[in-house]
Amino acid sequence: MKQYILSWVILGFFLTGCKTKPQHHQHHSDHKAGVVEENAKERIDSLFKKLVADRNVGGISALIYEKDKEVYYNAFGAQNEEKKIPMSRQTIVQIWSMTKPLTGTALMTLYEKGLFNLDDPLTKYFQDFRDMKVFVGMDASGQPIFEPAKRQITIRDITRHTAGFANNGSKEYVGPLYREANLLDRNSNLQEMMKKLAKLPLIFHPGEEWSYGVCVDVQAALVEKLSGKPFYEYLKSAVLDPLEMKDTRYYVPAWDQDRLSAVYFRAGEGNLTQRPDSQAIAYNTFPYPMTPGGYGLTSTLDDYMNFARMMVHGGELNGKRILKESTVKLMSTNQLDESVTKRMWLPDRGQVGFGIDFAVRLKPPVSAEENNGVVGEFFWDGAASTLFWVDPVNQLTAVMMVQLFPYDQIKLHNKFRDAVYGEYVPGEQK
């Protein structure tokens, strides 16, 4: 139970891009300069070395492709300090919410097969959700007040976090109900989760707010329902295997567990401790029945890069088509109406909207404090401070792996993006 609550609380923290100086390619002087030239590589190396030296991260690595070429890779620090294992390209990390875009991709392969429409009500597939109630407060005698939901939850709602589900256990009245329900109990499964969830009140009317949470686990349950297969089995056959993502899985078998990164907790400047593996990586070292859509997968730099490159190519990589180009466009297009003004912490990610399981950059940063990035990029990150983005303008994909809690308190994403693109200059767009 404690482990579940920790996971649920952590799920409340997630996520996260512009200018570079021109450069001259030695052999192709007439070719447009790339983003990741020597200065950028030096900036990234310098940043990562300092983070490790100052004991603000344990181990960190990054991989960047630009125009189909690997333009940056390096790793610094320790995968496991206690065991003296250096961070490497083979290191397996817990990607937490970077699981979500993979779940969304699996779901959208079924969309392409005509098995659902985005505006279908969830009740078409899960009838238990037909009479949802919205908690609106407590009356004078301390009893909860409910209203019938103004409309049904749709599939579009569960792909953009507007369904109305509570996001953590701290919400008035509803929070304790979510904690008691233990929705993502490791020894339970996705279909049991859905039955529990349908009995819980919503915290807002569907479509009215953006609130991060269990929506993507609902997507995973829908994948099972539509495909007739266990979620991970379908994800593997439709997405992971064609992309040769062999290290992307929930359960890491014994022979690969020495590649699993330790997890580090930062309690302040230079105050870094390694969490006991028995707690930190326990979920991924046993084949539990629960396969969440919102977190739980492990991956490597190269595995996740294959996914990002497939996306920058409009759904195809190395002759394997996962999605149609039009579907990738749909997923990376803002789905939030301007009427959705309550957006939890999404505005912390900059001038962004939200597509299908990605944040989508709509405008350039307004200041250097915002995360650097290019209009049109889509991205997401994870609770352990991992990050990836897809920049279609520059045909650039970046993946950064680290295992750092609490989530990015050192402005790591901001600094990494600045190292890649060059420091933000107002009014300039790469």
Residues 6+ away with beta carbon under 8 Å from 45:
74, 76
Q: Read out DSSP for 95-162?
A: -GGGGHHHHHHHHHHHHHTTS--TTSBGGGT-GGGTT-EEEEEE-TTS-EEEEE-SS--BHHHHHHT-
Give the confidence band of 169 by pLDDT, cuts at 50, 70, 90: confident
Average pLDDT of the chain to the nearest whole number = 92
Strand arrangement of the beta sheet that strand 387-391 belongs to: 85-86, 69-80, 59-66, 396-402, 387-391, 378-381, 359-361, 352-354
Q: pLDDT tier at 233 (50, 70, 90 boundaries)?
A: very high
The answer for 15, left when phi > 0, alpha when psi is -120 to 50, beta otherwise, is left
Question: What value, to the nearest 5°, has the Cα angle with vertex 294 and ends 177 and 353?
Answer: 100
* pLDDT at 423 (0 to 100): 82
Contacts of 48 (CB under 8 A, 6+ apart): 57, 60, 62, 74, 76, 77
In this prediction, residue 341 carries a pLDDT of 96
Q: What percent of the chain is predicted at pLDDT more than 70?
A: 92
Q: What is the pLDDT of residue 424?
A: 78
Average pLDDT over residues 86-106: 98
Q: Is pLDDT above 60 for 31? A: no
Does pLDDT of 22 surpass 50? no
What is d(CA 184, CA 249) in angstroms, rounded to the nearest whole number?
17
139-151 pLDDT per residue, tens: 999 999 999 999 9
Q: Tokens in use for 337?
A: 């109406």
**Within a 10 A sphere around the Cβ of 145, how many other Cβ atoms?**
12
Query: With 90 as the cut, is the pLDDT of residue 10 above it?
Result: no
Residue 406, preceding bond cis, omega within 30 degrees?
Answer: yes
Q: How many angstroms separate the Cα of 262 from the Cα of each of 99, 274, 381?
A: 19, 7, 18
**Mean pLDDT of all residues in 226-231:** 98
- The reported pLDDT for the residue numbered 21 is 36
Q: Span 385-395, mean pLDDT?
A: 98
Angle among Cα 77, 83, 85 to the nearest 5 degrees reads 40
- pLDDT above 90: percentage of residues in the chain: 88
* pLDDT, tens digit, 9 for 90 and up, residues 125-135: 999 999 999 99
| 283-339 pLDDT tens trace | 999 999 999 999 999 999 999 999 999 999 999 999 999 999 999 999 999 999 999
Residue 168: which pLDDT band, with cuts at 50, 70 and 90?
confident
Q: CB-based contacts of 283: which residues, under 8 Å, 6+ apart? A: 3, 186, 250, 296
Question: Which of the four pLDDT bands, split at 50, 70 and 90, describes residue 103?
Answer: very high
The single-letter code of the amino acid at 379 is: F
Rounded average pLDDT over 30-47: 86
Residue 33 vs residues 21, 398, 399: alpha-carbon distances, Å: 9, 18, 21
Among residues 323, 167, 182, the alpha carbon closest in space to that of 239 is found at: 323
Helical packing angle, 100-112 and 215-227, nearest 10°: 40
**CA atoms of 50 and 53, how far apart (whole Å):** 5
Residue with tokens 């709509």: 362
pLDDT at 32 (0 to 100): 57
16: tokens are 């996260």
Kindly list the domain boundaries of the chain, sorted by start residue. Answer: 2-108+231-421, 120-211
C-alpha R_g of the chain: 21
The type of residue at 231 is: F
For residue 45, count CB atoms less than 10 angstroms from its CB and return exposed for 0-12, middle for 13-18, buried for 19 or more: middle
How would residue 398 be classed by pLDDT, with cut points 50, 70 and 90?
A: very high
Position 427 scores a pLDDT of: 66
Q: How confident is the model at residue 14 (pLDDT cuts 50, 70, 90)?
A: very low
At residue 223, what are phi and psi to the nearest 5 degrees? Answer: -60, -45
Q: CATH assignment of 2-108+231-421, given 3.30.420.40, 3.40.50.261, 1.10.760.10, 3.40.710.10?
A: 3.40.710.10
Cα–Cα distance, 340 to 300 (Å, whole number): 35
* Residue 215: predicted pLDDT: 98
pLDDT the model gives residue 13 = 35
Task: Give the pairing of strands 264-268 and 404-405.
Answer: parallel
**Residue 26 has what pLDDT?**
34
pLDDT, one tens digit per residue, over 402-412 is 999 999 999 99
Residue 4 has pLDDT above 90, yes or no: no
